[in-house]
Structure 1
Amino acid sequence: MRIDLDFKEFSLMDVFSADSVTEEQNTSLYAITPLTWVRVGKYDCVLPITKKETIIVGKNETSQFFAQIRTNHTREGKTKNSHWSSTKELLTHDTLTSTIQACDSWVSTNYAILARNVLRRTSKWRQKSASPAQISFLTSRGMLSGQKVVTCGMASDLITRFKFGGVGKTKSAVVEKRKEEKRVGKRVKGSVL
């Protein structure tokens, strides 16, 4: 009797890659848009446009998807700087696909050069090796295993997830999935069928 087993080494880096709990979601997101949207939750996506501006897509209480542009502001003071952000609603729609595609159109209209050269997943800068500052940031937060080669694009996506709270959401999703697998496994072991 021959038994074939598939073994997958699991590290914290895998939690944030396309091989994780959100594999289907990431794949569907890549099919929807060529831009560098980052999943930070089940229905939440973020597109960093500039250092100060970010588009945030989420789901509201009425089960509609919304898109907001968040602008970060800084006012320099005599003793310290004050930081705050403002949001402006761009649109609402019934589906995530339509919301993201509408945001892509808005970005292509308002930030044409950035959309063509910087914000695409296939941009040349995303293929380069991650900078020492990015690697240091990710390593200090336990988000990087030393085994993988990290590109600048992967590192910036991980930092965006960290910045917008996707790290905790992804970790809790992994924990929930493992609990469910364990619960289902116990049922199978104890069943008479």
Structure 2
Amino acid sequence: MSAAESIPQQHAHAVHILYSDHHGWLSGWLRKRLGCAHNAADVAQDTFMRIIASRDALLGVDQPRAWLATTAKRLIIDRARRQALEQAYLAEMALLADSLPCHPAPDETLMALEALDQIGAALQAISARAREAFLLHYLDQQTHAAIAAQLGVSTRMVQKYLVQALLECRSQCAALAQ
């Protein structure tokens, strides 16, 4: 067996050990934090999926619980931002519905929610820093300079992150590519 063939098995074995040793702890920790067993199970699942997706991440992890907790916290923040975005959209739609004589058709609302889901999926495909910059700029309406200070990078890097995020959104979102 070559080294290239053994890496996926080593990774799978390491993930299996990490999962069996810490899944119960992570689920309990998330249940206490979120107050909901179902949401905790979803975040725990997403945490291990993110770990599986990052093949190099298991090399040299000294404190797996801290690493799992940090990954889970970031996922909770992403979920909260995604929910805030959806709530803001629904609130705007409600305001428009009150001020306009006509209401958007249900299929238009569904298309908008599907577009938001596609944007969410596109944001999951980019680096955490690019995703953070995108959300800070477009959701929290922060300036490039404020984002750069928060992330500890240059404003030029923030611009690169935003371009990366927008390109990924365009490539993954059929509605935006037209």
Q: TM-score, normalised by structure 2?
A: 0.26
Q: TM-score, normalised by structure 1?
A: 0.25
Query: Which structure has greater helix proportion?
Result: 2
